[in-house]
Structure 1
Amino acid sequence: MGEPDRTRAGIGYAVFAYAFWGVVPVYVQLMRGIDGFELIGWRLVASVVVAVALVMITRGWARLAAVARSRRDLGLLSLAGLTVLANWTAFVVGILSDRVLETSLGYFLNPLVSVVLAVLFLGERLRPLQWTAVAVGAVGVLVMVVAYGEVPWVGLTVAVSFGFYGLIKKRLSGEVDALSGFTIETVAALPAALVMMGVAIALGGVTLGANGAVGVWATAGFGLVTAVPLLAFAAAARRVSLTALAFTQYLAPIISFLFGAFVMHEPMPLERWIGFGLVWASLVLVSIELLRRRMRRPRPEPAAA
C-alpha cells in the first residue's frame, strides 16, 4: 500500500472510530440503572471474550505471542490498558449520572491535552498560537469551575486519560497490530476492573438486571461496542500523524454534545455556553496552527521519468 493510500485508509479508520464513540452515549442509555463501576467490570469481561474470539477467528495467536515477547511493547500496552480503563470509567459514570455534556467537554479538551503532553514527554516546542490556544481552553474550564462551584472531574479525567492513551499508542513499535494490542490492553485492565466491580457489588448488590433484559443484552454487547472503535483507532494511529487525528477527533464530542444538550436536555446556562465557547475557540486556534504547519511543510519532488 502506497503512502497516499495508507494515509487515506488511516483517516477513514479515524473518522469511523470517533463517529462511533460519539454515539456510544446513546447506547449506554440502554443500561441505565446498572452501577457504573459494576458496568465497567462487565464491559472488560465482555471485551476480553470478544478479543479472544477475534484472535481465534483470525488465527492471530502467533502475532499475539510475538508482541507479548517484546517487554517494551508489553509494558506500554499494559499501561495503555490502565489509562483506557480510567477513561472508560469516567465516561460511563459520567453518562449514567447525566453528565453527557461533561464527557463531551473532556473530548473537546483532548487536543489541548495532547499538545501539552507533546511538550512534556516528546520535547516539542509550542508556537505562540498554540500557547494562546492552551490558555484560552484553560480559561474556559475555569469559567465552568467558577459558574458551577465544582471542578469538572469527569471531563478532565476523560481528557487526560485519553491524551495519555494516544501518547502511549504512538510510542509502540510498528510490530504491534491492532488486534494484538487491544487483546493485551483489555487483559491487563481486567484485574483492576474486576476489583472495582467486586467492591460495587459488595456495597450495593448486583444491579445487572436493573433495566431488564434490554440492559443485560446491551451489557453483553458492550464488549463488541468497545472493541470496534478501539481497533479502528489503533489502525488509524499506525497510519496517520497526530495532526490528522487531531482534526478527526472533534467528531466524537460534537455528536455527544448535541445528544446531551438537545436530546437529554442537560442544563446549558449562559456560563456553560461561555465556557464551551472558549474551549471551541481554543480548538479553532489549534486547528489554524496545524493547518499552517502542514502548508509550510515542503512537498516531495516528483520522481524523474
Structure 2
Amino acid sequence: MENKKLGMIYALLAYVLWGILPLYWKLLQQIGAEEILSYRIIASFLFMIALLLIQKSWPTFLHTCRLLWQEKKQALALIIASFLISTNWFIYIWAVNHDHMVEASLGYYMNPLLNVLLGVVVLKERLYKWQVVSFILAALGVVVMTIEYGKIPWVALSLACSFSLYSLVKKIISVHATIGLTVETMLATPLAFMFIIHSFGQSHDVSFSFATMLLLMGAGPATALPLLYFAKGAQHISLTLLGFLQYISPTLSLLLGVFLFHEPFTNAHIYAFSCIWTALILFSISSTWEKRREKSLNM
C-alpha cells in the first residue's frame, strides 16, 4: 500500500511538472526555439551523466554502449528515438513561445489514442468496439478543427505523432529509462553543440545574461526530473491509473494557455476538444471494463 501511495505521488509530480513546464519556456521566449532546444539537449545530457555518477551506474552505462555498438538494430532504434524526442521538444518549445499552447495541449490529449493505434497496427494488439468508436470521435475532432481553421492543426498532430512514435520505439527496445535518456541526449549533443557554435559564428549579439544562462542550464533538470519521476511512479501503480493521471499535463497546459496567456479558445477548439474529451472518456471506461472482464474470465 505504501508503495502504491509513493508511486501515486511520483506520477502526480511528473504530470504536474510537465503541465507547468510551459512557464519555464516562456521565461526564455526571447531566444529562438532552435537555441533553446540545443541548450536543453546539452544540459539534459550533462545532468544525466551527473545522475549516473551519483547513482554509481556509470559501468552499466558503458556496458550498454558496448552492447549497442554490437547490436546495430538496437543502436538504430535509439538513434530514431533521439531524433523523435528532439523533434517533439522543438515543436513544443516553438508552440509555447508562439502562443500555440492550446493546440499543443490538444496534441497531448490525442497522444494516448495514437499510442493504442500504433499498438494495434505495429504490435498487433487487440482493439475493442468502444475503443474503435473513440478513435472515430477523435478523428472527427481533428477534421472539425481543420475545417473551422481552414488548415490542418499541424502542431497538435506533430506533437502527438512524434511522441507516440517515440513511445513505440521505447517499447520495442529494452534499455533502462535513465540509461536510455542518457544515450538519446548523448546522440543529439554533437548536433546541438555544432548549432550553438554556428550561431555564435553567425551573430555578433549572442551574449546572454547570467539569469538566462542559468535558465538554459536548468533545462537539464527540468527535462529529466519529470521523466525520472514518471519512471518511478510507473513501477508502483497500475497502467489504468497511470492512464487517467496522464491527462493532468495537457489540462494544466490548456488552462495556462487560455487563462494566463489569453490564447483564443474558439468554437473550433470547443468542438474539437469536446470530441477528443468524449473519445478519451469512452476509451478509458472501455479499457477498464475490458480488463476487468478478462481478469474475471481468467479467475
| TM-score between both structures, scaled by the size of structure 1 | 0.86
Q: Does 1:23 align with 2:20?
A: yes
SS in 2 for 1:297: helix
Deviation at 1:246, TM superposition (A): 2.3
Query: Using the alignment, how far apart are the partners of 1:282 and 1:200 within structure 2?
Result: 44
1:197-227 Cα shifts (integer Å, max 9, x gaps): 5666677666563xx4433321121111011
Query: Using the alignment, how far apart are the partners of 1:65 and 1:272 within structure 2?
Result: 48
Query: Using the alignment, how far apart are the partners of 2:199 and 2:140 within structure 1?
Result: 36
- How does 1:1-305 map onto structure 2 within 5 Å? 10-70=7-67, 71=71, 73-173=74-174, 176-194=175-193, 197=196, 209=208, 212-236=209-233, 242-298=239-295
- Return 219-228 or 5-14, whichever deviates more: 5-14
2:253 counterpart letter in structure 1: S
Query: Using the alignment, how far apart are the partners of 2:144 and 2:222 within structure 1?
Result: 34
User: In 2, are the aligned partners of 1:33 and 1:207 still within 8 Å (CA)?
Assistant: no
Query: Using the alignment, how far apart are the partners of 1:42 and 1:79 within structure 2?
Result: 20
Specify every segment of 5 or more residues in structure 1 that has no aligned partner in the other structure, as ranges: none
Deviation at 1:107, TM superposition (A): 0.5
SS in 2 for 1:122: coil
1:227-276 Cα shifts (integer Å, max 9, x gaps): 11122234445666654432221111011001001111100112211111
Q: Would the alpha carbon gap of residues 42 and 256 (structure 1) be closer, same or farther in structure 2, given more than 3 Å must change?
A: same
User: In 2, are the aligned partners of 1:43 and 1:222 still within 8 Å (CA)?
Assistant: yes
User: In 2, are the aligned partners of 1:45 and 1:190 still within 8 Å (CA)?
Assistant: yes
1:32-84 Cα shifts (integer Å, max 9, x gaps): 11000111001111111111111222221111123223335544333322211
- RMSD (Å) for aligned C-alpha atoms: 2.7
Query: Using the alignment, how far apart are the partners of 1:246 and 1:207 within structure 2?
Result: 43
Query: Using the alignment, how far apart are the partners of 2:119 and 2:189 within structure 1?
Result: 29
- Return 88-97 or 5-14, whichever deviates more: 5-14
1:131 counterpart letter in structure 2: V
Number of equivalences? 295
Q: Would the alpha carbon gap of residues 281 and 58 (structure 1) be closer, same or farther in structure 2, given more than 3 Å must change?
A: same
Query: Using the alignment, how far apart are the partners of 1:66 and 1:278 within structure 2?
Result: 47
User: In 2, are the aligned partners of 1:143 and 1:271 still within 8 Å (CA)?
Assistant: yes
Instruction: Give percent identity, aligned residues only.
Output: 34
SS in 1 for 2:90: helix
Query: Using the alignment, how far apart are the partners of 2:101 and 2:203 within structure 1?
Result: 24
- Return 179-188 or 290-299, whichever deviates more: 290-299
Deviation at 1:119, TM superposition (A): 0.9
User: In 2, are the aligned partners of 1:67 and 1:74 still within 8 Å (CA)?
Assistant: no
Specify every segment of 5 or more residues in structure 2 that has no aligned partner in the other structure, as ranges: none
1:144 counterpart letter in structure 2: M
Query: Using the alignment, how far apart are the partners of 2:238 and 2:164 within structure 1?
Result: 15
SS in 1 for 2:122: helix
SS in 2 for 1:31: coil
1:76-121 Cα shifts (integer Å, max 9, x gaps): 3333222111110110010111111111111100011111111111
| TM-score between both structures, scaled by the size of structure 2 | 0.88
Query: Using the alignment, how far apart are the partners of 2:134 and 2:202 within structure 1?
Result: 43
Q: Would the alpha carbon gap of residues 192 and 144 (structure 1) be closer, same or farther in structure 2, given more than 3 Å must change?
A: farther
